[in-house]
Amino acid sequence: MSIMNEIESRRARRGLSTESVDERAVAGLVYAATLAPSCFNSQPWRIVAVKNEAAGAQAEAMRAALTLGNAWAQRAAWFLVLCTAAHLDGRLEEGRDYAYFDLGQAAMALQIQAQHEGLIAHPMAGFSPSKVRAALSIPKEIVPLVVVAVGKPGPTDALSDKQKADEDSPRTRKPMEEVVYQGNFGTPFSTLP
């Protein structure tokens, strides 16, 4: 059984429905994230799930923390705040702090599970970390690195013209020979799909 379909079809879509997403479905996404591998099995991820209800103080603060370019995420059913800190994971020579890599693995597992469930899970860097930290009581030594907007697919009317165009544009990737090497840096891998 291959999961290549989920990997190939995964996109960071923005067209969200205002329809709710069941808490059990979100539990499945965060469970997938916690199954990601990590250096020394440190499991350095910390995830704060915020249901985006109009009257919720945390939800209101999360919406206020988004940048203007991420205004579309106001429709998300949930905000998943993925956090870590260097001291939570392997700290290897030459400044290689594995916590951030391992959090990325958890984020990808979460996104693949969302894709499998027919949900959108869009990771965002466009938010105010200080506002998120204050709203969710995140300790100062923990970094709120990414906010993932989770929801069901929906209309694109809340998107800018550029975002609407991006939503249905062909998926583009750099040619593999530019990013995958064999033997030496810069020598293209000999067998590419």
pLDDT digits (tens, 9 = 90+) for 81-112: 999 999 999 888 887 889 999 999 999 999 99
Amino acid occupying residue 129:
P
Q: Tell me what the mean pLDDT of segment 124-139 comes to.
A: 97
Radius of gyration of the chain (CA): 18
165/155 Cα distance (integer angstroms): 13
22/78 Cα distance (integer angstroms): 10
Q: Tell me what the mean pLDDT of segment 41-47 comes to.
A: 97
Residue 98 — φ and ψ, nearest 5°?
-80, -15
- How would you class 192 by CB atoms within 10 Å of its CB: exposed for 0-12, middle for 13-18, buried for 19 or more? exposed
Report yes or no: 13 and 122 within 8 Å, Cβ to Cβ: yes
Q: Is the pTM of this model over 0.75?
A: yes
Is pLDDT at 173 greater than 70 in this prediction? yes
Among positive and negative, which fits the CA dihedral 11, 13, 16, 20? Answer: positive
pLDDT of amino acid 45: 98
